Structure 1
């Protein structure tokens, strides 16, 4: 059965992110290759991945080559660094779906690039990226930036189990 995964902020090809976020890579090429391997180690060909933005700093051909090497059906929610390129550009490089706005998944998970305002009365958990190594406190936020998860996509179940008490999952 196909699984659903979530991840954000790969910044493929962005050499400066290695220093900005203290990523453990020698250079951008080492970073790219490691992140591709970690993605494909958990994501199967039939799985779906929601990438919550800031995917690549590379040109069209290099980005297309990376997307083609990644397993799964890939849905991109545009991040702040992705918005300089059109929705059709991202579809052309190989994403199966591209969202310009946040989406609600399974009537409970609010998927966005940047953390969204969530008050204690809102029924959602905001699964987001953008803030890299930082973390918002509270039960309404779940950061899927690569820095928190060893550059490996998380399954829907991993996120659900972390934010929903087990008696509510039944």
Structure 2
């Protein structure tokens, strides 16, 4: 299976509690990190792939901090395809590549895409980026992105897959915090977002 997520922001203490940007009601980063790991692994199996669309963690730019993040990422099931976000410096990504312990199947635990990736699933094209794109008029094409956390662009084809994203509220059943999204959930989000934009409620 292939899954999608973004903006895990491991170790980002400034996001804890209530705020207007990305409220995370956890007592400390250890609890937040553990919650994301548990909910991730509840869904993702060892042989799955997860596209992590940037902003993996918020730590100082030094190897000891990178090692802390690596220790968290090593607990996540599946192969991670990491697309660089604005908080992911290249030294950090190089550290992960150098210290990749691999998966039991002999595959690398990490793959990397500096700007983005284009894949096809269920006759749809998925442009995978950290920053949202303006695609113009398209058919059967989605831009999955992160970066804007609490905000949902008023364009059905732009789908924020970040763990704080409001698009997750469009799903018929609540997805636990930190859970990567499957392709069928992306399609449900698109259909419901498209319908909501076509028929906005009037107060």
Would you call these one fold, judging by a TM-score over 0.5? yes
Q: Following TM superposition, where does structure 1 have runs of at least 4 consecutive aligned residues deviating by more than 4 angstroms?
A: none
Other-structure match for 2:137: 120
Name stretches of at least 5 consecutive residues in structure 2 with no aligned partner: 60-64, 101-108, 169-176, 193-203
User: Which stretch shows the higher mean deviation, 113-122 or 69-78?
Assistant: 113-122
Residue of 132, 157, 162 corresponding to 2:184: 157
- SS in structure 2 at match of 1:22: coil
Change (3 A) 1:92 1:67: farther
- The Cα offsets for residues 88-126 of structure 1, whole Å up to 9 and x where unpaired, read as 223235452011011111061100001012212476211
Q: How many residues align?
A: 163
Q: CA RMSD in A?
A: 2.0
Do structure 1's residue 41 and structure 2's residue 58 form an aligned pair?
Answer: no
TM-superposed CA distance for 1:157, in Å, is: 2.1
8 Å contact from structure 1 (residues 104, 110) kept in 2: yes
Taking the aligned partners of 2:119 and 2:80, their CA distance within structure 1 comes to: 15
Other-structure match for 2:11: 13
How do 1:61-140 residues align onto structure 2 when only pairs under 5 Å count? 61-85=67-91, 87-94=93-100, 95-106=109-120, 108-121=125-138, 124-140=141-157
- SS in structure 2 at match of 1:63: helix
- SS in structure 2 at match of 1:147: coil
TM-score (norm 2): 0.74
8 Å contact from structure 1 (residues 54, 80) kept in 2: yes
Taking the aligned partners of 1:41 and 1:71, their CA distance within structure 2 comes to: 9
8 Å contact from structure 2 (residues 79, 110) kept in 1: yes
